[in-house]
Homo-oligomer: A and B are copies of this chain.
Amino acid sequence: MKIAIVAPSCSLKREAAERVATIVAERGDCALVVHPQCFLTDGHFAGPDAARLAALREVMADPDVDAIWFARGGYGSNRIAEAAALDLPDAAKRKLYLGYSDAGFLLAAFHKVGLEVAHGPMPQDVLRDGGEAAVGRALDYIVQRSDSALETGLNGPAMAFNLTVLSNLLGTSIEPDMAGRDLLIEEVSEQYYRIDRAMFHLTGASAIRTIRRLRLGRVSYVVENEPEFSRDEKAIVRDWCDRSGIAFGGQADIGHDAGNKVVPFGPSRL
């Protein structure tokens, strides 16, 4: 089992790469390749679009790589997601792709073309308090597809996204088919008014009206609203579910934290 880390958004911290390599060595059940592109920088990004896309396509085409693990979020994977999903080599179809946050653009684009994707912890998460557990959970899923790594409320086809990321891919060429699925959302570092506005956008989209139910993960590091918003994320999400007739399925065990559980998007359609 060989795992390749690439960084389609922002660059990976060297300390994170080293700590994940140590964890992998101690497990002894898989091999890890950290693509040098992970440490490139180009303004906000882990290298220019072309470099990020080339590294991703390179590991996708490598028949020896079993899983591609997105290094971290930030911003930028949307800029290469459509191109990354075009003209897939056969080797790309026999891999798992794991990540969350900004990497959700790739989860969407790749699921749409039939690849096996899952929403879950990323290498940079090792730097969080308790981050070793998050990375261990991701590896348990990548290597063994362990049930213990999974979000516990899953009982049918599901998808998971950062709310703002999902809002920004609706209506684009990488919008996936969500019909009949549980949709799990989480958020970080946004103001409540932005969360309310994104929920307006989300629940107003025809693609979202087809889901089975909406489940709310953790919303963390909420940025102060001036004046105070007077409603928290649970009230906001319930309100927009009620308004739009989308079933609310309760809380979900995902978020920008070490407790983030794995949500597979279901088997490949290839």
Which residues in A have some Cβ–Cβ distance to B below 8 Å? 41-44, 75-76, 78-79, 167-174, 192-193, 196-198, 200-201, 204-207, 225, 227-231
Contact = CB atoms under 8 A, between A and B. Distances in A.
Q: Is the interface of A mostly helix, strand, loop or mixed?
A: loop
Given A78-B197, A197-B78, A230 B44 contact: yes
Contact of A230 (B43, B78, B172): B43
5 contacts: A44-B225, A44-B229, A75-B193, A78-B197, A171-B205
Given A170-B170, A200-B172, A193 B44 contact: yes
A172 B201 contact: yes
A266 to B, nearest CB: 24
A172 B205 contact: yes
B44 A206 contact: no
A168 B195 CA distance: 11
Contact of A44 (B170, B174, B227): B227
A63 B68 CA distance: 64
B79 A43 contact: no
Given A196-B75, A197-B75, A204 B44 contact: no
A270 to B, nearest CB: 24
